[in-house]
Amino acid sequence: MIKKGSHLDGVEPINEKNIEKDIVLEILYKKIGKYKEAYQYLVNIIEDKLIYDKSGYSGNSVLILKSQNGKEDLVIKISKNNELYHEYISYEFFYKMNYTTKPLAYFECGKYEVMITEKINLPTAGYYFNSYKEIADFFGKKLRIFHEQNLINKINNKEEENVFSHKYENNYKKAISNNIVLKYLAIYLNNNNVLEMKKYIIENKEIINKNLVLVHGDFNPNNVFVDKDQNIKLIDFCDTGYCNKHYDIFWTLFMIIIFSGILKEPEKIKECEEIFYNSYGLHSINFEEIKFFKYFTSLYWKEHDEITRIDIL
Ligand SMILES: Nc1ncnc2c1ncn2[C@@H]1O[C@H](COP(=O)(O)OP(=O)(O)O)[C@@H](O)[C@H]1O
Ligand SMILES: [Mg+2]
Query: Based on the domain organization, do 219 and 232 belong to the same domain?
Result: yes
Q: Which of 212, 226, 133 is CA-nearest to residue 168?
A: 212
pLDDT along the chain (313 residues), means of 10: 39 62 94 97 94 83 90 93 94 98 98 96 88 96 98 96 96 96 94 97 98 98 93 96 98 95 95 98 98 98 70 65
Question: 193 C-alpha vs ligand 1 centroid, how far in Å?
Answer: 33
Q: What is the count of structural domains for the chain? A: 2
Are 62 and 113 a contacting pair, CB within 8 Å?
no
Query: Based on the domain organization, do 151 and 276 belong to the same domain?
Result: yes
Which of 70, 90, 121 delimits the end of a domain?
A: 121
Residue 58 CB–ligand 1 contact under 6 Å = yes
Which of 83, 102, 121 delimits the end of a domain?
A: 121
pLDDT at position 268, please?
Answer: 97
The pTM (predicted TM-score) of the whole model is: 0.93
Domain of 249, CATH number, reads 3.90.1200.10
Q: Which of 130, 302, 293, 108 is CA-nearest to residue 201?
A: 293
Structural domain range at position 156? 125-300
- Sequence-separated (6 or more) residues with CB below 8 Å from residue 228: none
Question: How many Å apart are CA 52 and CA 129, to the nearest integer?
Answer: 24
pLDDT at position 306, please?
Answer: 59
Question: 223 C-alpha vs ligand 2 centroid, how far in Å?
Answer: 5
pLDDT at position 16, please?
Answer: 60
Rounded to 10 deg, the angle between the 266-280 and 132-148 helix axes is 30
- Sequence-separated (6 or more) residues with CB below 8 Å from residue 312: none
Query: Based on the domain organization, do 149 and 261 belong to the same domain?
Result: yes
Residue 60 CB–ligand 1 contact under 6 Å = yes
Query: Based on the domain organization, do 98 and 196 belong to the same domain?
Result: no
**Smallest CA separation from ligand 1 atom 21, residue:** 58
Residue 310 lies in a domain: no
Question: 286 C-alpha vs ligand 1 centroid, how far in Å?
Answer: 31
Residue 13 lies in a domain: yes
Question: 236 C-alpha vs ligand 1 centroid, how far in Å?
Answer: 6
Residue 86 CB–ligand 1 contact under 6 Å = no
